[in-house]
């Protein structure tokens, strides 16, 4: 399955609107010290956000499919962007009242997050620089 994101600067500023698969728009920005307005997360900050949301979503979907009552699930992702290799610590908080088997299964489900698996698998990136064609693609 192919996914697509198109980032465009807003009025030539550092703030960007990112069209995701032609269905959603997210905004990124940079802190004021880097010339942004700090009104949205930086692109780099989306990495831990992606991992936390992915794990939490997988857990919630799994529990919902089994009619398990999860009052609240919280996943925290702490990303060290300066370590080599990069390091993310995920902390998954589940509510009380689950059986040991449910906890074990939910822990395994959290590890199946597609975003986490993609990062673990590694990437190749083909990059092209195209001059003079910044107009929106026609649909």
Residue-wise pLDDT tens digits, 1-55: 889 999 999 998 999 999 999 999 999 999 999 999 999 999 999 999 999 999 9
* Dist. CA 44–CA 24, nearest whole Å: 19
Domain ranges of the chain: 1-40, 42-123
Over 70: is that where the pLDDT of 136 sits?
Answer: no
Global confidence as pTM: 0.86
What's the pLDDT at 1? 80
Q: For 59-70, what is the mean pLDDT?
A: 95
Q: What percent of the chain has pLDDT over 70?
A: 95
Task: Reduce the DSSP state of residue 69 to 3 states and report it.
Answer: coil
CA neighbor of 75 nearest in space, from 85, 63, 87, 89:
89
CA neighbor of 116 nearest in space, from 57, 54, 67, 69:
54
Both structure tokens of 110? 């959290």
**DSSP secondary structure, 84-102, as one string:** SS-EEEEEEE--TT--HHH
Fold of the 42-123 domain: GMP Synthetase; Chain A, domain 3 (3.30.300)
The predicted-structure confidence for 90-101, as pLDDT tens digits, reads as follows 999 999 999 999
């Amino acid at each position: 399955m192919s996914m697509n994101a198109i980032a465009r600067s807003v009025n030539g500023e550092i703030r960007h609107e990112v069209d995701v698969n032609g269905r959603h728009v997210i905004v990124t920005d940079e802190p004021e010290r880097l010339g942004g307005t700090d009104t949205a997360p930086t692109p780099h900050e989306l990495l831990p956000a992606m991992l936390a949301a992915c794990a939490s979503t997988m857990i919630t979907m799994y529990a919902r499919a089994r009619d398990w009552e999860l009052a609240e699930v919280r996943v925290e992702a702490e990303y060290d962007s300066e370590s080599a290799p990069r390091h993310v610590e995920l902390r998954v908080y589940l509510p009380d009242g689950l059986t040991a088997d449910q906890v074990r299964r939910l822990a395994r489900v959290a590890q199946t997050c597609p975003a986490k698996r993609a990062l673990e698998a590694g990437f190749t990136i083909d990059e092209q620089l195209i001059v003079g064609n910044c107009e929106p693609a026609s649909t």
